[in-house]
Amino acid sequence: MNAVEVRRALDELGMVPNRALGQNFLVNESIAVRIAGACPAGSVLEIGPGLGSLTEFLVSPERPVTAVEVSRLMAARLERIFEGKPLRVVTDDFLEVDPASLPGAPFDALAANLPYGISSPALFRLAEPGFGSIRTAVVMLQAELAARVAAGPGSKEYGRLALGLWPFFEASALLDAEPGDFLPEPAVRSRVLVLRRREAQLVPSALVPAFGRIVAVSFSRRRKTILNNLAAAMGREEAATLLGLAGIDSGLRAEQLPPECFRRMAELGA
């Protein structure tokens, strides 16, 4: 959909884009084509399809789509304009929905132009067992958030988001989008990431909760050393012992440590 078509569709629905809900509609069709092209054949889950700007390029006989849309008005419109196409529309909140209850599950891929306000929790949902069948996720994010997803040790963006996805996915950039590619124009630039599920999960499922807790504590105060952050949660002696057993310099900060260090601490402290 281009800008004229988006404005017409909004007028027909009597809707005004809600910036608080992150309703910035994609109006650059070439970007939608490239996002769809990065999605493999198979059952696809689309989050927040809105007016269908991406949906029209995703849906095909080889790629049936289940779209989760929180707006009843937009969900009803999608059902109407894509009637006869392999599209199933579910009116629900993606952050709350049970993936097993969705038609088309289990899914092979996921695609989304994510509202900025729910991007982080939506990404973390991909690490849940219920979404374990998804091999590829193609997601539009605020550029700053995308940098945090793909960040490595030593960078200021590196932290809980990158580490939360690290056991499950490898992230790579597909393209960047400018404010003018959306209606209304957001105040920030955007980036599309492709998340590809690892062949072997890097943290065993049974250890994932402990890994998450260690990461959260370690980054609780970014300016503090790893020893000081762990000590606040478990006591200084126990923290020093854990770091010693893991072979980690207690004077380093969490952002300086590779992911494997947090995995070792989780293994030792579980």
pLDDT digits (tens, 9 = 90+) for 141-152: 999 999 999 999
Residue 173, beta-bridge partner list: 193
For 47-72, what is the mean pLDDT? 96
Q: Phi first, then psi: what are they for 237, rounded to 5°?
A: -65, -45
Q: Are residues 58 and 80 in the same domain?
A: yes
**Residue 223, phi then psi, degrees to nearest 5:** -80, -10
Length of the chain equals 270
The tokens for 118 are: 């729910």
Residue 226: per-residue pLDDT = 97
Q: Is the pLDDT of residue 3 over 70?
A: yes
CATH code assigned at 233: 1.10.8.100
87 plus 185 within the same structural domain: yes
Residues 255 and 228 in one domain: yes
pLDDT (0 to 100) of residue 221:
95
Pairing of strands 190-197, 44-47: unpaired
Q: Any idea of the CA torsion for 5, 11, 13, 15, to the nearest 10 degrees?
A: 110
% pLDDT > 70, the chain? 99
Residue 229 structural domain:
205-269
What DSSP state is assigned to residue 237?
Answer: H
Among residues 197, 223, 250, the one where a domain terminates is 197
Question: Taking residues 128-151, what's their average pLDDT?
Answer: 97
Distance CA 213, CA 33 (A): 39
pLDDT in tens, 173-194: 999 999 999 999 999 999 999 9
Cα(86)–Cα(104) distance, rounded to whole angstroms? 10
Q: 253 and 168 share a domain?
A: no
List pLDDT tens digits, range 82-108.
Answer: 999 999 999 999 999 999 999 999 999
CA 25 from chain center: how many Å?
Answer: 18
Kindly report the CATH number assigned to the domain that includes residue 37. 3.40.50.150
**Pair (134, 245) in one structural domain:** no
Number of domains in the chain: 2
Residues 85, 179, single domain; the answer is yes
pLDDT value at residue 107: 98
Of 208, 219, 199, 222, the C-alpha closest to 267 is: 208
Instruction: Tell which of 197, 226, 255 closes a domain.
Output: 197
Q: How far apart are CA 165 and CA 149, in angstroms?
A: 8
Of 197, 214, 248, the domain-final residue: 197
User: pLDDT category, 169, cuts 50, 70, 90?
Assistant: very high
